[in-house]
Amino acid sequence: MVSFLFNEWLSETMPRHQLLQLPALFVLGIILGSRFSKDKVIDLSWSIAIFIFIMSSFVFWMLPHSIDVAAINAWFNRVMHINMLVAGFLLVPALRHALFEIKIIFLGMWAAMITAAGIALRVFDILLCSAFTIEQQKETGLWLIIIGTGLYAFTLFVFFSGLSRK
């Protein structure tokens, strides 16, 4: 597992921790999910529950206190790894069988959340995570704004391509 091998290096700075480690684990989960849960059929209520779980997972691991503890406590760090892997693993079947409306709402709210978190990190002049520096915090904020804006554009792309399908 990439994260276990490079865990120390990834936990060294905030951008690495937030922008590399979290998404990498999530993407690993997605790859696993697309390999092993291809044919799983998930009904509407479960897919909504999974989306809420994924959103809450991201919110939780973006909280300053969670980031701090994950950076200094190995056990808590493992929980983060598993959580993000599971979130990514569940995303594929949930997305595949979700209603179009739910997909767009999920992607749109996710984009909004990441952008807002990025802006907050960017403008906040007080150190939020004692394990990192204020410069790293601002750099992370900038990248989150870029990722959030990209995700917003992706949401619109999914929306318009969904509407264009004949």
Partner 1 sequence: MIEISATEIKKQKKLVLTWSITFLTVFPLLIILGLLMRLNQGEKISLGMDNFYVLMTLHGLGMAGILYSIAFAALWYLIGTRYAKLNTGTGYFVFFMVLAGVAGLVIATLIGKFGAGWYLLYPLPFKGTFWPTWATGLSIISLIILGIAWLIGIIHLVYALAKEFGGFSNLLGWQYIRKKEVDRELPPIVLITTVSLVPGVIAFIAGAVFLVMFLLQHFEPTLAFDPLLLKNLIFFFGHTLVNITLYCCIGWVYALLPEFTGRPWKVDKVVVYSWNATFFFILFAYFHHLYMDFVQPLPFQYAGQIASYLSAIPATAITMFGVIAQLYHSKVKWGVIPLSFLLGTAGWAIGGFSAVVDSTIAANKVLHNTLWVPAHFHTYMLGGVVLFILGFLFYLSHSKEEQEKDKMAKFGLWLFVIAVHSFIATFYRGGLRSIPRRYSDYGGIRIEYTHSTGALLAQIASVFIGLLLVGLIIMYVSIIVKLSKRKIPSAGA
* Residues contributing to the site for partner 1 (CB under 8 A): 100-102, 104-105, 108-109, 111-113, 115-117, 119-120, 123-124, 126, 148, 152, 155-156, 159-160, 162-166
Radius of gyration of the chain (CA): 16
What are the start-end ranges of the H helices in 63-165?
64-72, 74-97, 100-123, 134-164
Least Å distance, CB 86 to partner 1, is 24
Separation between Cα atoms, residue 123 and residue 103, nearest integer Å:
30
Helices 74-97, 22-36: axis angle to 10 degrees equals: 50
Complex with partner 1: residue 40 or 65, whichever CB lies closer: 65
Least Å distance, CB 5 to partner 1, is 34
Six-digit token string for 1? 């597992």
Separation between Cα atoms, residue 36 and residue 165, nearest integer Å:
28
Complex with partner 1: residue 53 or 154, whichever CB lies closer: 154
Complex with partner 1: residue 39 or 125, whichever CB lies closer: 125
Least Å distance, CB 137 to partner 1, is 13
Least Å distance, CB 4 to partner 1, is 32
Complex with partner 1: residue 2 or 113, whichever CB lies closer: 113
Least Å distance, CB 112 to partner 1, is 4
Complex with partner 1: residue 89 or 106, whichever CB lies closer: 106
In angstroms, the Cα distances linking 48 to 12, 30, 43, 51 are: 35, 17, 9, 5
Q: What is the DSSP-derived secondary structure letter of residue 43?
A: -
